[in-house]
Amino acid sequence: MTHVPYLIAGWGISIAAVSLYAFSVMRRAKRLAALVPVDRRRWMTGDDADIIGES
Amino acid sequence: MTIDTPGTGLDPTHDPTRASGLADPGSVSGITRSRTTTILGAVVLAGAGLWLFLAFGATDPDVRIVEGNEVGQYDAIRLMYVHVPAAITAYLAFFVTAVGSAMVLIKKSVWWDLVAGSSAEIGSVAAALALITGSIWGKPIWNTWWEWGDVRLLTTLVLFMLSLGYLAVRRLEGTAEERAKRSAIIGLLLLFNVILVNRSVELWADQTIHQQSTIADAKIEDLKAFTLYYSMLLGAVAYAWMLIHRFRLAWLERQYDRFGIDDAIARRHAEGASS
């Protein structure tokens, strides 16, 4: 196989970056969820002001 | 275990893992997870296995015989299966950001504002990866990491910088309405820039070292083309999976901001009443 260092760098950086990003989103959500009441944690429908500036 | 909640006034003994009526909102560890994201996540993971097999096991290196000489990209062609999906995912993410931005301006919709912001963040990651993997691919093929005279590279860099600007504007001081409106205008510019990036190699064909449309002109075929299409599809599914998680995080951030303000007002009232 040719160009192995380039393949390792390109694929490695991509897979690592996407994995780290996904992990960081879930970690941030986990930390934040502990500070938000249970009934406010998920957007469902119509139970909160849906218009910007009206809350 | 108690949770330190400085400044929020929340009950530190509050148990966030207690269940409620929602799908799984009581579980802090899986707060952004649902049946949909579990299925999408499983599809992405399984799909990634097939992606690796196709890219490294099933497809051949790019070797052609032209006028008796062996030419081609050899194994560097395998970088195409990660670079192109990253770019397409960025296009898709910024398109959704632009649609969300339009809906913010038309309907002042909070939901669309959060979708637009979430999509822009994922798009920034994808655009950064498209730039990085493109640079890594460019070195063995064009013998350069970067070419300032290439219009596609420049317009992609501008797109990436604009997306960072969009995310920065979302964090500026001001009312929610002001921030949403300002960022929505930049969000619409992202779509214009995506079109510019995509068409740049045709509009300025003499100012790029990129080739023109590979798929449309069927310059690649058979299993390589299938792998490329498959990679783009996988990128889109992964994007959808991440967008749902990121949207739920954005919703939590908004609720935390609002809850914190509500609580501060309540405490100020309580202080006023007691003095």
On the question of pLDDT at A48 being above 80, the answer is: no
CA distance B224 to chain A (A): 16
In chain B, residues with a C-beta closer than 8 Å to the C-beta of A3 are 74-76, 79, 140
On the question of pLDDT at B9 being above 70, the answer is: no
Place of tokens 């669309």: B112
- Put simply, the chain B residues between 120 and 149 with a CB less than 8 A from any chain A CB are 122, 125, 128-129, 132-133, 136-137, 139-140
Looking at the partner chain, which of B31, B114, B175 has a beta carbon nearest the beta carbon of A33?
Answer: B31
On the question of pLDDT at B46 being above 70, the answer is: yes
The ipTM (two decimal places) reads 0.89
**Do B97 and B165 form a contact (C-beta atoms < 8 A)?**
no
pLDDT tier for residue B222 given thresholds of 50, 70 and 90: confident
Q: How far apart are CA A33 and CA A49, in angstroms?
A: 20
The three-state secondary structure class of B4 is coil
Structure tokens at A32: 């934040």
On the question of pLDDT at B189 being above 80, the answer is: yes
pLDDT at B27: 62
Q: Is residue B242 within 8 angstroms of chain A, CB to CB?
A: yes
Among chain B residues, the shortest Cα distance to A9 is held by B136
Least confident of B18-32, B57-71, B181-195: B18-32
- Of residues B105, B112, B69, the one with CA closest to residue B247: B112
pLDDT at A34: 84
* Burial of B74 per CB tally in 10 Å (0-12, 13-18, 19+): middle
Q: How far apart are CA A26 and CA A23, in angstroms?
A: 5
For residue A51, what is the DSSP state?
Answer: B
Q: Is residue B172 within 8 angstroms of chain A, CB to CB?
A: no
Q: What is the pTM of this model?
A: 0.85
Q: Is residue B240 within 8 angstroms of chain A, CB to CB?
A: no
CA distance B202 to chain A (A): 27
Q: What are the pLDDT digits (tens) for B50-81?
A: 999 999 999 999 998 888 898 999 999 999 99
- Of residues B250, B267, B153, the one with CA closest to residue B201: B153
CB spacing of A36 vs B252 below 8 angstroms: yes
Which distant-in-sequence residues (6+ apart) come within 8 Å of B260 by Cβ?
Answer: B7, B8
pLDDT at B21: 35
CB spacing of A36 vs B140 below 8 angstroms: no
Domain at B32-260: CATH code: 1.20.120
Place of tokens 């954005």: B250
Among chain B residues, the shortest Cα distance to A31 is held by B28
CA distance B183 to chain A (A): 13
- Of residues B102, B106, B208, B210, the one with CA closest to residue B149: B208
Residue B160, amino acid: F
Which distant-in-sequence residues (6+ apart) come within 8 Å of B124 by Cβ?
Answer: B160, B163, B164, B167
